[in-house]
């Protein structure tokens, strides 16, 4: 697949490296320091390009920048119509609507409105990048869970493949509206790791029987 990683920082560059290892054609884009993109690209075996070029050439766009920078990234990108967009962002800050009211929708739903025609899937926001960057994702031989949700069935299949290729178990968590739950769940994971002392070498698992 042709994948554009928008914001190849800690999470994005780690995902990019894993997908390059699976044979995908990865392009990194969107930095305040374009020279950094060239370095990151060569470190992970990807290419670098300006945002518009990277997005227009991609089948899958992976948004791994800070939520506060998303509007800027979108403004540089041009059309997302028809693209699968994996929204990996989280924000801990309360958000407001254009008319100043509390924003109750998830970042992913707001993103879908900001990027008309994009097939937005929320995922990869709920696990520490340290797990993705580790030698293995497995805990006692078991894959941790990565939920994904969205309104386009084909886009969710693409997301599930990319999740499985990182050695997480992909679990379909329903429509994009459920990103509200996945984003809240991510905050719990972050608090467990960073505030409540569990550290970042932890991941969640859906048990079945």
Ligand X SMILES: NC(=O)c1ccc[n+]([C@@H]2O[C@H](COP(=O)([O-])OP(=O)(O)OC[C@H]3O[C@@H](n4cnc5c(N)ncnc54)[C@H](OP(=O)(O)O)[C@@H]3O)[C@@H](O)[C@H]2O)c1
Enumerate binding residues for ligand X (CB under 6 A): 7-12, 30-33, 36, 64-67, 69, 72, 88-90, 125, 128-129
Closest CB to ligand X among residues 36, 208: 36
Closest CB to ligand X among residues 52, 82: 52
Question: Which residue is closest to ligand X by CB?
Answer: 9
Q: How far is the CB of 146 from ligand X (least distance, A)?
A: 10
Q: How far is the CB of 31 from ligand X (least distance, A)?
A: 3
Pairing of strands 2-6, 60-63: parallel
Quick one: which of 117, 129, 169 has its CA closest to 148? 169
Q: How far is the CB of 156 from ligand X (least distance, A)?
A: 19
3-state secondary structure of 64: coil
Closest CB to ligand X among residues 6, 160: 6
Closest CB to ligand X among residues 64, 166: 64
Phi, psi of 43, deg, nearest 5: -65, -35
CA distances from 58 to 2, 6, 22, 109 (A): 5, 11, 16, 21
Would you say how long the chain is, in residues?
209
């Amino acid at each position: 697949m042709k994948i554009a990683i928008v914001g190849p920082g800690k999470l994005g560059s780690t995902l990019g490296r894993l997908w390059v290892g699976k044979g995908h054609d990865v392009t990194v884009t969107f930095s305040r320091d374009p020279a950094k993109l060239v370095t990151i690209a060569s470190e992970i075996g990807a290419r670098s390009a300006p945002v518009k070029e990277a997005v227009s050439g991609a089948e899958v766009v992976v948004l791994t920048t800070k939520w506060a920078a998303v509007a800027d990234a979108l403004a540089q990108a041009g059309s997302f119509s028809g693209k699968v967009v994996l929204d990996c962002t989280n924000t801990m800050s309360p958000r407001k609507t254009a008319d100043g009211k509390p924003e109750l929708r998830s970042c992913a739903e707001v993103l879908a409105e900001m990027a008309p025609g994009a097939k937005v899937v929320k995922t990869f926001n709920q696990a520490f990048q340290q797990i993705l960057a580790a030698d293995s994702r497995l805990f006692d031989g078991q894959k941790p869970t990565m939920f994904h949700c969205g309104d386009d069935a084909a886009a969710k299949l693409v997301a599930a493949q990319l999740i499985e290729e990182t050695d997480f178990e992909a679990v379909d968590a329903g429509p994009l509206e459920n990103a509200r739950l996945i984003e809240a769940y991510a905050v719990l994971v972050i608090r467990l790791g960073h505030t409540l002392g569990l550290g970042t070498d932890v991941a969640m698992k859906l048990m079945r029987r």
